[in-house]
Amino acid sequence: MSDGLRVVVTGATGNIGTSVVEALSQDPRVGSIVGIARRQPEWSLPKLEIATLDLAADPPGERLDALFTGADVVIHLAWLFQPTHDPVTTWRANVLGSVRVFDAVARCEVPTLVYSSSVGAYSPGPKDRRVDEHWPTHGWPEAAYTREKAYLERVLDGFGRANPQTRLVRIRPAFVFKRESASQQRRLFAGPLLPTGLVRPGFVPVVPDLPGLRVQAVHSADIGEAFRLAALNPVRGAFNVAAEPVVDASLFAELLHARTVRMPAWPARAALSAAWRLHALPASPGLFDAVLRLPLMDTTRAKTDLAWTPRYTASEAVAEFLTGLREEAGMPTPPLAKPSRGDRLRELSKGVGSRP
């Protein structure tokens, strides 16, 4: 038995999960990390043991309890973004899978649960001022992602009342980027038709400046640090996590050496909706609508109570992601895998947004 804390991380091989595991592995207070993933990766770190388990497809039962028994902290990150054309599948994976995790935490009397919520859980809000963690979390009803994140906020409200002995923390990140996540995020949101090699300074002449397209971003490594701090320090409640500056058309134009063109949102939405219905684009029009309505988050509580300070600006996180797109970057885990020859044709043949 390793000395130190035993931490279980679901979704350990994804964009956020790999950064969380990296942050935990460097902390001397952590003795062992159990990373739960659907598929075995060709990636490992000191202190990490991978356990393959599909929270949606496998009846977790005794296996999940065995992994959680004796754990000091469970960090729940696992999430299925696709298929957007089959919201029943994502509901089963994300909502029912999360409920299974929460129930197992209670059964196994794990002292601490840290859950990855999202800015997407928030109800529509302002773009000209910041909202704190008390802003309503009812999501945007027309997008599966925001519906599911909002629903789980209500589930956790009940979990907290029923299990006051469990220290419950909710991290609500902005959009999370790193170079190694670029190939995965291209597959999940942009699809196989995006000419990633052209996403470079000087090749994109204009960037559309759409009403409401003001969002926040944060580097995955900084999110990993926020989860480490939440897991190992005696804090409770919700924390907004985002870096500065706000990401808008001007920031993208600066990074791409382009100019902005002000235009209404409806032509972009119409084009996106048509591409989604034709299975050429995985991101749904409902998610586009949600993004335009996301509030800007106040991160004061993360900085004061967590003592969290981002190492990367939002501009640096986005720039690194754009570099990763051009280079088709990734990591040796199934979610973050680099594309191989013929991958884009296979994506199209399977029906973009139709299968996990």
Q: Are residues 188 and 147 in the same domain?
A: no
Per-residue pLDDT reduced to its tens digit, 34-57: 999 999 999 999 999 999 999 987
In this structure, how many other beta carbons lie within 10 angstroms of the beta carbon of residue 341?
Answer: 6
Eight-state DSSP code of residue 304? H
Q: What is the pTM of this model?
A: 0.96
Q: What does each of the 356 residues of the chain score in pLDDT, given as a tens digit? A: 458 999 999 999 999 999 999 999 999 999 999 999 999 999 999 999 999 999 987 666 688 999 999 999 999 999 999 999 999 999 999 999 999 999 999 999 999 999 999 999 999 999 999 999 999 999 999 999 999 999 999 999 999 999 999 999 999 999 999 999 999 999 999 998 888 877 889 898 999 999 999 999 999 999 999 999 999 999 999 999 999 999 999 999 999 999 999 999 999 999 999 999 999 999 999 999 999 999 999 999 999 999 999 999 999 999 999 999 999 999 999 999 998 888 888 888 777 777 67
Is residue 350 a part of any domain in this protein?
no
User: How many folded domains does the chain comprise?
Assistant: 2
Q: Look up the domain containing 89 and give its range.
A: 5-175+216-243
Tell me the torsion sign for CA atoms 175, 181, 182, 186. negative
SS3 314: helix
CATH, residue 19: 3.40.50.720
317 and 235, same domain (yes or no): no
Q: Would residue 305 count as lying in a domain?
A: no
Same-domain status, 139 and 28: yes
- Alpha-carbon Rg for the chain in angstroms: 20
Partners of 88 in the β-ladder: none
Contact 227, 114 (CB under 8 A): yes
